[in-house]
Structure 1
Amino acid sequence: MAITGTRSIGDAPDDRLAEVFEAYLRPFAGPAAHFYVGGASGVDTAALQWLAAHSESALTVVVPCRTVDQPPGPAEVVERLRGEDRLAGVVEMGATLLGKAAYHARDRWMVEHSGFVIGFPRGEESLGGGTWYTLNYAAEQGRARLVVPL
Structure 2
Amino acid sequence: MEGVRVAVEADLPEIRSLVADAYALYTPRIGRVAGPVLSDYAALVQQHAVHVLEDAHKIAGVLVVIEGEHGFLLDNVAVRLDAQGKGFGRRLLEYAETLGQRKGYEVLRLYTNEVMVENLALYGRLGYVETHRIEEDGYRRIYMKKRLV
TM bin (shorter chain): 0.3 to 0.5
Bigger share in helix: 1
Bigger share in strand: 2
> What TM-score comes out, normalization by structure 2 length?
0.34
More contact order relative to length (CA 8 Å, sep ≥ 6): 1
> What TM-score comes out, normalization by structure 1 length?
0.34
Structure of higher CA gyration radius: 2
